[in-house]
Amino acid sequence: MKRIYVNESRCIGCRLCEWECVFANSGLDAMFKLKDLAAENFAPRIRVEGGEKAELNFAVNCRHCEKAICVQSCIAGALSKTGEGMVVIDDKKCVGCFTCVLVCPFGAIMPRADGKAAQKCMLCTDNIKGEPNCVKYCPNGAIVFEER
Amino acid sequence: MDYVIIGNGTAAVACIEGIRSEDASGSIALISSENRHCYGRPLISYLLSGAIKAENADYRPRDFYQNNGVKTYLGKTVSRIAPNEKRVYLSDGASLEYGKLLIATGSRPFVPPMEGLESVKDRFTFMTFDDMEKLSRVLSPEKSALIIGAGLIGLKCAEGMYGSVKSITVVDMADRILPSVLNSDCSAMMQAMLSAKGINFILNDSAAKFEKNSVTLKSGKKLTFDILVTAVGVRPETSLAAEAGIEVDRGIVVNAKSETNIPDIYAAGDCSEGYDMSTGTKRVLAILPNAYMQGKCAGVNMAGGVSSFMNAVPLNAVGFFGWHVLTAGCYEGEAFEERTATTYKKLFVKEGRLVGFILLNDIQRAGIYTSLIREKTPLSEVDFELLKNAPQLLAFSKQARAAKLTRKV
C-alpha cells in the first residue's frame, strides 16, 4: 500500500500541509474561507513539528502501521484496517475516550475539533480530494505518497 | 472443534483474529452466556446517556463470526471444563470437544456483603449491556440515584444517567474519587468539576445498612434513594478454571504465551493475570487494550504460531463531561508536575526511564510518552527537556526518527 513518508531535510516548516489538510476536510470550496476558523477549531490531521524558523521541521501523520496498536486498543471497534492496510475510523462508533491518543507511538491520532471523537489521516479517501492533499501541495517534496 | 473459546468480549474476539492469522480453516466455537453480538463493553455508559446508538456499539461487524467461520453458542453457559476429556460441558447438557481452549470469561462485579441489600428493589450493577438496559428502564427525572463506588464504573455510570435522574450521589470508602486511576491532586480537580455539575460525593464512608429505599452509612449519615448502583469493584471470573484444576491466583495464572498450567488451555483478558512491565509484577490488568493483545497472543499460539505478550502497560483513558484523563504506568520515582486551573500533567521517572504519567485535559500525542514506557527507552537517548514540555518526535535522534517516519512501520 502507498503510504505517506516525510523528508525532514526538505521541510521548511511552512505548515501549508496543515492548511491543506484542514481545507481538504472542511468541505469548503476555497482555502481562504478558512480565515474565519477559530484557532481552537484548526485541527489538522497532519502536524508539523518544530516552530517557525526552527533548525528542524517535519510533518507527522498516521503511519498506517501494519500492526496498528490503535486498532488493537480501540474500546469501541471504531478503528479498523481496510483490506489494503489503511487504518480507518468510523466516527459513528467513536465515543471519544481517546485510548487511541494514549497508545499511538507517533502522536498521529487526535481529538476532533469538537472534542467528541478522534480523527486521523485517511489519506484523503474520506473527502472529495481522493488523494493526499498535503502531498499534492507540499511545495518542497517534503511529503511523498509511495510504496516502500 | 479445533478451537473453543469461552467468552465473547475483547479477548475472545482478539483470539479469533489471532487464530485466523495463522490458521484459515480450523473449526472455532465460541460460547457466551450473554445472548448478544460482541459489543464494546465500556460503551454501556455511552449507550445509557444516548451518546451512541445501540447499532453502533458492535465491537466487530455483524458478519464477523460468519466471515471467520466461527460457530457461536450465544446465551449458553459453560458449566464445567473437563481437561481429561478435553471437553467443555454446557448447562443445557450439551458438550463440545476441544483441541485448544481459551478461557476469556472476563470479570464480574464484586458486591461486598452489605446488610439489608436484598431489601432494595431497584438495585443494579453496571457491567453488561443487559445491566445497562435494566437500569435505563428505571431512570426518571423525579428519582434520585445512589452509586456505591467512585471508580471508573461508578463514575461512568453517573455520567451515563446524568440528566435522566433528579440527583446522583456517589459514596466511596476511599478518600478520593477514581482512587485506582488518579493521584490525590488530579482526583481533586476532577471531583471539583463533577461536583460543579451537581454530582454529590460522600467519601471516606461506606454503606452499613440498607432498608428498602434508605441507607445508613458507617458514619451514621442517612440517605434515601430510588435507584441503587453497586460499583465497588470487579473480580476476575475464575470459577470455571479453578474447578477444572487450573492454577488461579488473583486471576488465572498464565505465562507469556497465555498458556495456563494445563496443556491446551489458554486464558486471556480480565479473568487472567498479566505481566505489568511498568512495575515488573504479575497482576490482573483489567484493561481493554491488554485484553486484546493477550487474546491475540493466545490465538496465535493456539493455532501453532509464536507470540509472546510481556509488555502490558497499565493504561486508562477516561473522560467525563468533556474533561479527559489519560494515564499510564506507575506513579513512582522522581516526578515532574505542571498544572493550570483545568490542566494537570505529571510525569514519573525512575532509573533513567519514564515509568508513568497522568495527563488531564492536556492529552495531545500522549502515546509518545506511552511508547517510552512500553519500549523502556533510556531517557539518555531522547531530549527529555523537550518531552517534558510536550510529547514530540523532535526529541528523538535522527536515526530513531527516520525509523518512525521514513519506513513502513
The CATH number that applies at residue A81 is 3.30.70.20
For residue A141, give the CATH number of its domain.
Answer: 3.30.70
A73, closest residue in chain B (CA to CA): B289
Over the stretch B60-77, which tens digit does the pLDDT of each residue have?
A: 999 999 999 999 999 999
DSSP track, B5-72: EE--SHHHHHHHHHHHHH-SSS-EEEEESS-S--B-GGGHHHHHHTSS-GGG-BSS-TTHHHHTTEEE
Same domain, A53 and A104: no
For residue B362, give the CATH number of its domain.
Answer: 3.30.390.30
Among B233, B256, B280, the domain-final residue is B233
Number of domains comprising chain A? 2
Same domain, A76 and A107: yes
Residue B376's identity, in one-letter code, is: K
Q: Is B345 on the interface with A (CB under 8 A)?
A: no
User: A34-48, B224-238, B265-279 — which is least confidently predicted?
Assistant: B265-279
State how far residue B84 is from chain A, nearest Cα, in angstroms.
Answer: 34
Same domain, A82 and A115: yes
Same domain, B375 and B358: yes
Same domain, B224 and B263: no
CB B275 within 8 A of CB B282: yes
Range of the domain at A95: 64-120
State how far residue A26 is from chain B, nearest Cα, in angstroms.
Answer: 21
Same domain, A127 and A56: yes
State how far residue B47 is from chain A, nearest Cα, in angstroms.
Answer: 10
- Mean pLDDT, range B245-264, rounded to an integer: 96
Q: Domain for residue B315, yes or no? A: no
Over the stretch B89-102, which tens digit does the pLDDT of each residue have?
A: 999 999 999 999 99
Number of domains comprising chain B? 3
Same domain, B38 and B54: yes
Same domain, A110 and A68: yes
Cβ of B405 within 8 Å of Cβ of A58? The answer is yes
Of A72, A104, A110, the CB nearest to B292: A72
Same domain, A103 and A57: no
ipTM of model: 0.97
Same domain, A144 and A90: no
R_g of chain A computed on alpha carbons: 15
Same domain, B213 and B98: no
Answer whether 0.90 is exceeded by the pTM: yes
Same domain, B101 and B14: yes
Per-chain mean pLDDT for chain B: 96
Range of the domain at B183: 110-233
Q: Evaluate if residue B279 carries a pLDDT over 90.
A: no
Cβ of B363 within 8 Å of Cβ of A63? The answer is no
At residue B111, the pLDDT reads 92
Integer CA distances (angstroms), B305 to A83, B28, B206, in order: 22, 16, 49
pLDDT band at B277 (very low <50, low <70, confident <90, very high): confident
Same domain, A34 and A82: no
Same domain, B10 and B66: yes
Same domain, A98 and A138: no
State how far residue A95 is from chain B, nearest Cα, in angstroms.
Answer: 7
CB B386 within 8 A of CB B336: no
Cβ of A72 within 8 Å of Cβ of B293? The answer is yes
Over the stretch A90-140, which tens digit does the pLDDT of each residue have?
A: 999 999 999 999 999 999 999 999 999 999 999 999 998 989 999 999 999
Same domain, A70 and A115: yes
Taking only residues 45 to 84 of chain B, the set having a beta carbon closer than 8 angstroms to any beta carbon of chain A reads 46, 51-53, 56-60
Same domain, B97 and B114: no
pLDDT band at A52 (very low <50, low <70, confident <90, very high): confident
At residue B310, the pLDDT reads 82
Cβ of A75 within 8 Å of Cβ of B296? The answer is no
Chain A residues in contact with B287 by the CB 8 A cut-off are none
Same domain, B329 and B297: no
Taking only residues 76 to 95 of chain A, the set having a beta carbon closer than 8 angstroms to any beta carbon of chain B reads 76-77, 90, 92-93, 95
Q: Is B404 on the interface with A (CB under 8 A)?
A: yes
The CA distance from B85 to B62, in Å, is 33
Of B42, B317, B374, the CB nearest to A98: B317
At residue B283, the pLDDT reads 81
For residue B17, give the CATH number of its domain.
Answer: 3.50.50.60
Cβ of B58 within 8 Å of Cβ of A77? The answer is yes
For chains A and B, what is the number of CB pairs under 8 angstroms?
Answer: 130
